[in-house]
Amino acid sequence: WSNQRQFLASRGYVVVEPEFRGSAGYGGEHERAGYKQWGQAIQDDISDALTFAIRNAGVDAARVCIMGASFGGYSTLMGLVKDPDQYRCGIALAAVSDPRHMYEFTWNDIGSLGKTISLPLMLGDPKADEAMLVAASPLVHAERIKAPLMIVHGGRDRRVPIQNGERMRDALVKLGKPVEW
């Protein structure tokens, strides 16, 4: 149960919240299946869930918006990049705009152990997997975004520092894309 999802559903919205690979809801194997899959298989799971809802739950494909926070915010940005014709709008809250930023920021709450062990395992090694991380960067591929986007970010966010949102906003403004900050 989530008050935000319940609020949207009570207003007539269909809320699709898949348990994509990489999340812990279906055990360790399901979670490990998402390692190094940001913007790839994880994003495919989200698109597949939407396709299922369109085909089986009466969702109007012409009226779909993608929204999420933190990793969900990243997934919102990546959904708009990877499947630009699938969404009418996007709302990204506290979104990672480039996975490489997770290694850059020194004042976030991810410690040195997380940056040297956990992140390379789950997200990818910043050197060995650089091409994969670049391919999974909404910031690098901002020109693909077609739908209007609202970016919401807190100035004191330590998990996903605000520079993620500022960089994404600035890139979209420079490209003349519709963005609300």
Mean pLDDT of 19-45: 93
Structural contact between residues 172 and 143, judged by C-beta atoms closer than 8 angstroms: no
Predicted local confidence at residue 4, as pLDDT: 87
Structural contact between residues 77 and 114, judged by C-beta atoms closer than 8 angstroms: no
Q: How would residue 108 be classed by pLDDT, with cut points 50, 70 and 90?
A: low
Q: Which of 79, 60, 67 is nearest to 136 (CA)?
A: 79
Distances (CA, A) of 122 to 21, 87, 173, 177: 12, 27, 31, 31
Mean pLDDT of 30-53: 95
Instruction: Please check the confidence at residue 107 and state whether its pLDDT lies above 80.
Output: no
Using one digit for the tens of pLDDT, what is the confidence trace for 31-40? 999 999 999 9
Predicted local confidence at residue 151, as pLDDT: 98
Using one digit for the tens of pLDDT, what is the confidence trace for 65-106? 999 999 999 999 999 999 999 999 999 999 999 999 888 776
To the nearest whole number, what is the mean pLDDT of the chain? Answer: 93
Q: Which two tokens mark 42?
A: 């994880």
Range among 7-16, 19-28, 43-52 with highest mean pLDDT value: 43-52
Residue 76 DSSP symbol: H
Using one digit for the tens of pLDDT, what is the confidence trace for 130-175? 999 999 999 999 999 999 999 999 998 888 889 999 999 999 999 9
